[in-house]
Amino acid sequence: MSAHCQLTGARPGFGNNISHSHRRTSRRFDPNIQRKRYWLPSEERHVRLTLSAKAVKTVDTIGIEAAVARIRARGVTV
């Protein structure tokens, strides 16, 4: 599974490393992905989500129920 966030859809970005002599080599900018377990009261079960650090803060703000609704609206199964 690639490093992407289930809530925000953040995926790796690509670019170049540039050396002192200005040679370029490919590199990858990965989002800060964390696996986090939340209690979902409406379904009385735990859900394990793959979220970016920014999305973890979003869940803290809007709540897990709203976050799961957004994830399901994107077409991702939880």
pLDDT at residue 1 is higher than 90 = no
Q: What is the pTM of this model?
A: 0.84
Q: Return d(Cα 59, Cα 72) in angstroms, integer.
A: 14
Split at pLDDT 50, 70, 90, the class of 43 is: very high
Per-residue pLDDT at 2: 75
